[in-house]
Amino acid sequence: MAQLRAFLALAEHLHFRDAAAALRMSQPALSGAVAALEETLHTRLVERTTRKVLLTPAGERVARRAERVMTELDRLIEEVRAVGGPLVGPLRLGVIPTVAPYLLPVVLPRLAADYPDLELTVHEEQTDQIVAELTAGRLDVVVIALPAPLPGVTELTLYDEDFVLVAPGSSDLGDDLPRTVLNELDVILLNEGHCLRDQALDVCRQVGARAAAATYATSLATLVQLVSGGLGVTLVPETALPVETRRAPNLRLHRFAAPAPNRRIGLGYRATSPRAAEFEALAESIRDAVSVDAATTVRVRGRAPA
């Protein structure tokens, strides 16, 4: 199974380094797995050049068949795990970067207490990457901002949270801000690829505002530090405020008038997964953890209906 997974990753990326990174294994280990599969099948599957990898005709045929085999094998493994009881054994969870640092410290202790036999591994990636890994079967369930960017993903709502305007300490904008205030401000954003960037841009577009021309930051931490330095204002989700504002001096928080701009965070899993009941239980455990930890969740607006 490991050899087939290694070969399929190589067939997808056509590059040993990229394939190894996708599987989170070393490049020599990936190369060894593919070589072992070639030895088992007594044929060459890939043509190695100095710049890229090409599939041989046999490799193309094996890749097509192996993809079907691995899909069925993953489905069989999921069915066996589902029979074993709720949230027992391995679970591969993906989380987006604008949620992971703020939600995981709240949720992980709760999961350890509720499901002591759960073997959880966590992967932090941007939305498009973890959803791609979910649909490819390399992740079981993901925490993302809803809606999911691809069809075939079942969604379970966890919570809604407002965006707060974070400005330099000299700001005197007050609270209950109309969204149109964004027309008068230099809004700085995360780099492309972050769903939070897209959400902030949507808020700006709704009132005809434009974000600052330059893209400044790859993380919320850097973004808030830039605001602290006077380079503009930004929109930060409620759950991130306690962590990020503690790290940066000279800030002032301004809340929007109702209905405030917001985002919805939820679980996503393959619609074909037989572990739907387990993911319902996982969602409920996360909702409970979020609702009882007011110090971390700040003003998360309770539970939204699943």
Q: What is the Rg, in whole angstroms, of the alpha carbon atoms belonging to the chain?
A: 22
Write down the pLDDT at residue 306.
37
Judged against a pLDDT cut of 80, whether residue 301 lies above it is answered with no
Per-residue pLDDT tens over the stretch 166-223: 999 888 888 889 988 888 888 888 877 678 878 887 887 777 766 665 556 788 888 8
User: Using CA atoms, how far apart are residues 53 and 55, in angstroms rounded to an integer?
Assistant: 7
Burial per residue of 260-275, b for 16 or more beta-carbon CB atoms within 10 angstroms, e otherwise:
bbbbbbbbbbbeebbb
Per-residue pLDDT tens over the stretch 23-70: 888 989 988 999 999 899 999 999 877 677 889 989 889 888 888 888
Give strand pairing partners of 262. 162
User: Using CA atoms, how far apart are residues 251 and 230, in angstroms rounded to an integer?
Assistant: 9
- 230, 147, 154: which is closest to 188 by C-alpha? 230
Per-residue pLDDT tens over the stretch 130-164: 999 998 888 999 999 999 888 889 999 999 999 99
Judged against a pLDDT cut of 70, whether residue 303 lies above it is answered with no
Question: In terms of C-beta density within 10 A (0-12 exposed, 13-18 middle, 19 or more buried), how is residue 73 classed?
Answer: middle
Per-residue pLDDT tens over the stretch 241-287: 988 888 788 899 999 999 888 999 999 999 988 889 899 999 999 99
Task: Give CA 15 to chain center in angstroms.
Answer: 24
163: tokens are 């965006």
- 134, 158, 137: which is closest to 288 by C-alpha? 158
What is the identity of the amino acid at 173? L
Residue 62 to residues 65, 221, 253, Cα–Cα distance (Å): 5, 45, 57
Peptide bond into 105 cis (omega under 30): no
User: Using CA atoms, how far apart are residues 160 and 303, in angstroms rounded to an integer?
Assistant: 7
User: Rounded mean pLDDT of the chain?
Assistant: 84
Write down the pLDDT at residue 302.
37
Judged against a pLDDT cut of 60, whether residue 295 lies above it is answered with no
Confidence class for position 11, pLDDT limits 50, 70, 90: confident
SS percent in the chain: helix, strand, coil, step 5 = 45, 20, 30
Alpha helices in the chain (DSSP H): 2-13, 16-23, 27-41, 57-83, 100-114, 127-135, 195-206, 220-228, 241-247, 276-292, 294-297
Confidence class for position 100, pLDDT limits 50, 70, 90: very high
